Amino acid sequence: MKAVGVKAIKDELKMRSREDLMELCLNLSKFKKENKELITYLLFEANDESYFIQGIKDEIDAEYEEVNRKSYYYVKKSIRKILRNTKKNIRYSKKKKTEVELLLFFCKKLKEFTPPISKSVPLTKIFDREMQKIEKTILSLDPDLQYDYGIEINSIKNM
């Protein structure tokens, strides 16, 4: 079966009744964990973005505590998993401010990580790439936020 485009789906959804839409959403939530997480965000967490951000930060903290530190190979795999989960949650929000806050928190935790990431080229590259992404995203925010986040970026880089 070939999937149709977003426009065709949108047009079809306009013609459906409220009950049909509810049934479609429930069916979507049954098939993939990401669908269920997105629906949860949209229904319960989209109204309070700061609560959502704090929840993701708590998840990041917990994941950093569980990192296998036996070798840099395992550390790298674990860090990539944390970053993948963080970016998945950023996609749910679609807000630049949320993206910057979560990536800054991720990079701060990575910089504070022991064993130090400076001894691992892949981890250093992950850190540098995310910092560049943050700096690029900050340019689309208000000047006040740019200044505040700029200070935070400098403090993280100088750790």
Has residue 12 been placed in a domain?
no
Has residue 83 been placed in a domain?
yes
Has residue 109 been placed in a domain?
yes
Provide the CA 71 distance to its chain's centre, in angstroms.
26
What are the distances in angstroms from CA 106 to CA 14, 54, 70, 85, 133? 40, 12, 21, 11, 12
* pLDDT for position 30: 85
Query: Which positions ≥6 away from 43 have C-beta within 8 Å?
Result: none
Is 79 in contact with 110 (CB distance < 8 Å)?
yes
Kindly report the pTM of this predicted structure.
Answer: 0.87
Q: Which of 32-41, 51-60, 139-148 has the weakest average pLDDT?
A: 32-41
Query: pLDDT by residue (tens digit) across 83-132?
Result: 999 999 999 988 999 999 999 999 999 999 988 898 999 999 999 999 99
Query: pLDDT by residue (tens digit) across 9-50?
Result: 888 888 888 898 888 888 888 888 888 888 888 888 888 889
Has residue 14 been placed in a domain?
no
Indicate the number of domains in the chain.
Answer: 1
Has residue 29 been placed in a domain?
no
Provide the domain limits for residue 57: 48-157
